[in-house]
A = this chain, B = another copy of it.
Amino acid sequence: MSDQKITIRELYSDPEKYAGQVITVDGWARQLRIQKKFGFIQINDGTYFKNLQIVVESEKSDNYDEIKSQNISTAFEITGELVLTPEAKQPFELKADVVKIIGESTSEYPLQPKSHTPEFLRSIAHLRPRSNLFSAVFRIRSEAAFAIHEFFNQQGFMYVHTPIITSSDAEGAGDMFRVTTLDPKNPPLTEDGDVDFSEDFFGKASFLTVSGQLNGEAFAQAYRNIYTFGPTFRSEHSNTQRHAAEFWMIEPEIAFAGINEAMDLAEAMLKHIINHTLDRCRAELEFLNETVYDGLIDRLEKVAKSDFAKVTYTDAIKILQESGKKFEFPVEWGSDLQTEHERYLTEVYFQGPVFVTDYPKDIKAFYMHINPDGKTVAAFDCLVPEIGEIIGGSQREERYDVLVNEIEARGMNIDNYDWYLDLRKYGSTPHAGYGLGFERIIMYLTGVSNIRDVIPFPRTTGNAEF
């Protein structure tokens, strides 16, 4: 056999198969070191994290001078013999016979092999996936997304595309972006001098969604088990490492089920995502373990094997109060847990993932199922070491009267919830669900600490480039 086009992934998965054969590969130069008589080019073809070392010789290549003048990121097509090199750093190399230049690069190529600040790399978001770090991060993002679809599909869950543009503001979930086609300078006005949104594209004021949950609940009352996986938006000006204006969320919803079934589902889902990533992205994780977060693989393997603990919010408060530890924020029943509290619980006390359940009603959303005590709701947060909260969920209030009372007690406009209340009128069932911020799990899987570095083209205050 000769001159077969092979991907670098194929080479790494079965080098013996190609040893001694003449093959053709193509890809981009990640490094070049070309001397007078011979040289080395590290080629990456995008199919695999690792490079293939190409050995070029001036005697064999007519165009050796041209090769010598190339820069990092030039695209090559190379034909040659694959030689196993068990004693070298790399397991094999390709001894080039023919080196074809597909597309040249220049010496101004911004991603030179030296240390760059994360800020600079964000400014070249169109090029940064060519670096080792981002190559690893975004492949893990891709595989984690697939793992999520695979997990829910295998379990018979329906994937629902809930709407991105919405006219209902899911109360309390955060500030929203307006979506409009009105003239921004001279919008039409009503007789009262207000902006006349009846003239806008959708005939009323419209926004970008903050959550697909309410729509998802409608589908769960038809299909039993559903999930959403789509972009969601927040227009808060929070310039932190953990907030982006645009991010992706996974929101499963299960009918004929309560908080325990939802927690079991969350635990199984997290383990599936982790195991899939460990299985499919080993080279990427090893790189991240070495360069970004020492102990990353160990952390993931531990969580994948652990049984998640459960503790009520009320007991968690007691544990914190009796810990003898001084916290910055006070610990008292009725206040939300702060990150320092969450981390104490998961890292020190339980030393592993833990579900905290049954939070005080007043610090949680209107749609959560009120427990028999009248003070707490059947809500849960899943806390993991070194991150804190990674998932938040609840049983939903399935009782029409209780839900109406709660909406009114909170001073919300009940007219906005007519269709949502319908779900409690026509065969309501106990049901539950949760939300997983996709970027948060990617940060957990990669050890990367800034959300801007796990999103291909991040959108934050003041930034919608590319």
Contacts and interface: CB of A to CB of B under 8 A. Distances in A.
A167 interface: yes
Interface in A408-428: 419-420, 422-428
A167 B465 contact: yes
Given A141-B159, A219-B456, 20 more contacts: A9-B156, A46-B225, A75-B256, A106-B426, A127-B426, A135-B222, A145-B149, A162-B456, A164-B233, A165-B246, A165-B464, A166-B464, A177-B179, A177-B180, A179-B208, A184-B187, A185-B195, A202-B245, A202-B463, A419-B465
A163 B427 contact: no
A204 B464 CA distance: 8
Chain B CB count within 10 A is highest, among A201, A231, A235, for A201
Chain B CB count within 10 A is highest, among A9, A419, A420, for A419
Interface in A138-189: 138-139, 141-142, 145-146, 149-150, 153, 156, 158-168, 175, 177-182, 184-185, 187, 189
Contact of A105 (B220, B233, B427, B462): B427
Contact of A222 (B129, B202, B461, B463): B129
Nearest to A198: B462
A215 interface: yes
B426 A47 contact: no
Chain B CB count within 10 A is highest, among A158, A185, A233, for A158
B47 A225 contact: yes
A446 interface: no
7 contacts: A46-B222, A47-B223, A75-B256, A75-B427, A75-B429, A206-B464, A219-B456
Interface string A196-236: 00000111101010000001001111111100001101010
> How extensive is the interface on chain A, given as a class?
35 or more
Chain B CB count within 10 A is highest, among A159, A168, A423, for A159
Contact of A219 (B138, B201, B231): B138
A178 to B, nearest CB: 5
A337 B285 CA distance: 50
A139 B233 CA distance: 27
Contacts of A420: 126
A455 B164 CA distance: 12
Nearest to A230: B231
Interface in A381-430: 398, 419-420, 422-430
A247 to B, nearest CB: 9
A41 to B, nearest CB: 12
A146 B422 CA distance: 30
A158 B138 contact: yes
Nearest to A418: B126
